[in-house]
Amino acid sequence: MSNSAERVGSDSAEWAPGPVGVWSMELRNAGRSGVAEAAAELADRGIGALWIPGLDGGGVFDDADELLTASPETYVVLGVLGIWRQEASTLSARVRELDARRGPRTIVGLGVSDRNAAAAVGRTYTSPVGAVSEYLDELAQEQCPIAQERLLLRALGPRMAQLAAERTAGIHPFLVNPDYTARMRDRLGSEAIIAPHQAVVFSADAEQARAVARDQLGMFIGFDAYHNNLRRLGFTDGDLVPGGSDRLIDALVAWGDDEAVSKRLREHLDAGADHVAVQVLPTSPGSDGLPLPDWRRLADLAADLT
């Protein structure tokens, strides 16, 4: 990690999870068979951060608690929790409870989602940046606010990224490539944490790897926020077709052998990322639904990136 990861306040533990973490939908299920054991093994293999999606917010703190318990020195990052799913007071209280039981190892990623998510809870907003700024104001006003250094934003556009740099530790962008990482480092300077999501398929079969990527990530390409950001990165109508063109998939998803995957992770780090949150897209999950063999491969690669 660069020095930007060592700025945690006195009420927080130093967030220094190493260059690579595991981002996993599969870990987002408290009590599921094999989850605690997998988390403990990943910690033993040197993975310093486990990232879990917020989804609808339900059960996310139970999941975080299980992972924190199973891996007593690992950080758990909510990557990300929609601001409409949890009142600021509830979020602050639940993180405080986790801190009391497991130590200050919970990092909170926040995202704005969309107007439909806001409407579902009776809220409206006209500006994504304004909505997130207001939520950060609410968090700051809590009796025991979450330290700024333990907050991240899922930022893609320049205005949200700037807000993240000013009011949180930094950004956790989704569906980006190393070029985006380099652009954000240039824009945000050396202090902001940049922790991009990177999807990986351990398969050297191009047809198989791209099919797996499209099946699990293709739907997001059509979402406005990602669509717009991909255009900023130089992709065109020919790339932004349903499921994405081969060129787009290859830019967003690292696939191939260990050397090819390691090369992509290194590209992010060389471009200025402090940490890469890696989502393994398995070609054939185990009987328990956990891609543990692929996670072991990833942990071995991560050890060589330190």
| pLDDT tens for each residue of 112-166 | 976 777 767 777 777 999 999 999 999 999 999 999 999 999 999 999 999 999 9
Going from N- to C-terminal start, the domains of the chain cover: 3-303
Cβ atoms of residues 275 and 21 within 8 Å: yes
**How far is it, in rounded angstroms, from Cα 32 to Cα 219?**
26
Q: By three-state DSSP, how is residue 79 classified? A: strand
Task: Using pLDDT thresholds of 50, 70 and 90, give the confidence band for residue 30.
Answer: low
The pLDDT assigned to 5 comes to 37
Per-residue pLDDT tens for 251-263?
999 999 999 999 9
Alpha helices in 10-149 (DSSP H): 35-44, 60-70, 88-102, 115-120, 128-140
**Statement: residue 82 has pLDDT above 60:** yes
Q: What share of the chain is helix, strand, coil (3-state, %, to 5)?
A: 45, 15, 40
The pLDDT assigned to 56 comes to 79
**How far is it, in rounded angstroms, from Cα 66 to Cα 82?**
21
Task: Using pLDDT thresholds of 50, 70 and 90, give the confidence band for residue 290.
Answer: very high
The pLDDT assigned to 288 comes to 75
The pLDDT assigned to 14 comes to 58
Q: What percent of the chain has pLDDT over 90?
A: 82
Q: What percent of the chain has pLDDT over 70?
A: 93
Residue range 3-303, CATH number: 3.20.20.30
**Residue 180, number of CB atoms within 10 A of its CB:** 23
**Given the structure tokens 């318990």, which residue do they identify?**
69
DSSP 148: G
